[in-house]
């Protein structure tokens, strides 16, 4: 039960534990209220601004040929805003969960599966906040770097999923190990399991777009990350000292 599949089964089996039920709801509700209110208040201005950006990008992408399809630009702007709203809500819920709820989730998993695992406190609240800030900065940079790709409608659903996959694993991996691992152990596990962690981050990004399931996604994947990473930490500590020293 040290792989992704076993960790996911554990997460699903504990999803409706009384302590987890409230964690599934309130971060998503807070995030939806925040972004929903902003979207309603600034919807008109935001649609016009994004439509103008789309017209400019299309103008340059078509070799400076005049492009003034206003209705198409307005429709594309509305679709783009709605597509972006989902990962924004999910990311906000994830950051709330990471800072305020992950310690409780870590204790929940540790008490049931890793009670003997030593806690070396390699991270803390300040580190979690800073990690969230780094994730947000990375999100902004990736979004800016991918701007030319947004000109191609088939890529619209893929770009936010790819970006959010990175952001999700960046936020969750730190909070999952902060209580139990020291700094060196965290870096070793993150480097060795980079692909698996990104895959789990992408799964969270995809599930966030599914109605209703989006409520469960942060907690399910959070529990999966915790179980998976604590199992990897346990395996790391059980290795011989010589092998443990290898990068």
Share above pLDDT 90 across residues of the chain, in percent, rounded to a whole number: 24
Overall average pLDDT of the 49-71 stretch: 63
With b for 16 or more beta-carbon neighbours within 10 A and e for fewer, the 60-78 pattern comes to eeeeeeebeeeeebbebbe
Contact 157, 83 (CB under 8 A): yes
Please count the other Cβ atoms lying within 10 Å of the Cβ belonging to residue 32.
17
Quote the pLDDT of residue 57.
Answer: 67
- The counts of H helices and E strands in the chain are 10, 0
Element spanning 85, H or E: helix 70-96
Overall average pLDDT of the 56-62 stretch: 60
Band (65; pLDDT cuts 50, 70, 90)? very low
The pLDDT of residue 241 is above 80: no
State how far the Cα of 172 lies from the Cα of 123, in Å rounded to an integer.
Answer: 13
Overall average pLDDT of the 172-177 stretch: 92
Quick one: DSSP state of residue 157? T
Region for 173 from its dihedrals, namely left if φ exceeds 0, alpha if ψ lies in -120 to 50, beta otherwise: alpha
Contact 166, 145 (CB under 8 A): no
Give residue for tokens 């902003």. Answer: 38
State how far the Cα of 46 lies from the Cα of 215, in Å rounded to an integer.
Answer: 26
The contacts of residue 135 (CB under 8 Å, 6+ apart) are 95, 167, 170, 171
* pTM of the predicted protein model: 0.76
Contact 166, 146 (CB under 8 A): no
The contacts of residue 18 (CB under 8 Å, 6+ apart) are none
State how far the Cα of 102 lies from the Cα of 223, in Å rounded to an integer.
Answer: 9
Please count the other Cβ atoms lying within 10 Å of the Cβ belonging to residue 104.
13
Parent domain of 163: 4-245
- Smallest CA-to-CA distance from 35 within 77, 111, 80, 88 is with 88
Quote the pLDDT of residue 64.
Answer: 47
Output the six-digit token pair for 70.
Answer: 């206003």
Count of domains for the chain: 1
Contact 218, 93 (CB under 8 A): yes
Decide which of 242 and 182 is more confident.
182
Contact 196, 4 (CB under 8 A): yes
State how far the Cα of 49 lies from the Cα of 76, in Å rounded to an integer.
Answer: 12
What average pLDDT does the chain have?
82
The contacts of residue 218 (CB under 8 Å, 6+ apart) are 24, 27, 28, 90, 93, 94, 97, 204
């Amino acid at each position: 039960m040290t792989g992704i599949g076993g960790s996911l089964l554990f997460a699903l089996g504990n999803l409706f534990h009384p302590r987890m039920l409230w964690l599934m709801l309130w971060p998503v509700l807070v995030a939806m209220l925040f972004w929903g209110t902003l979207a309603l208040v600034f919807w008109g201005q935001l649609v016009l601004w994004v439509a103008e950006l789309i017209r400019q990008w299309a103008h340059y992408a078509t070799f400076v040929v005049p492009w003034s399809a206003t209705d198409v630009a307005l429709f594309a702007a509305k679709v783009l805003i709605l597509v972006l709203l989902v990962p924004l809500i999910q990311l906000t819920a994830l950051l709330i969960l990471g800072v305020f709820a992950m310690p409780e989730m870590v204790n929940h998993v540790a008490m049931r599966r890793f009670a003997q695992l030593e806690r070396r406190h390699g991270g803390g609240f300040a580190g979690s906040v800073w990690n969230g800030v780094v994730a947000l900065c990375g999100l902004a940079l990736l979004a800016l770097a991918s701007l030319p790709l947004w000109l191609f409608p088939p890529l619209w659903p893929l770009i936010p999923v790819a970006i959010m996959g990175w952001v999700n694993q960046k936020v969750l991996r730190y909070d999952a190990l902060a209580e139990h691992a020291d700094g060196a152990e965290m870096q070793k596990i993150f480097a060795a399991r980079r692909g698996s962690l990104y895959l789990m981050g992408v799964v969270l990004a995809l599930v966030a777009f599914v109605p209703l399931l989006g409520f469960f996604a942060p907690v399910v994947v959070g529990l999966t990350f915790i179980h998976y990473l604590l199992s990897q930490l346990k395996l790391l500590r059980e290795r011989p000292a010589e092998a443990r020293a290898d990068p």
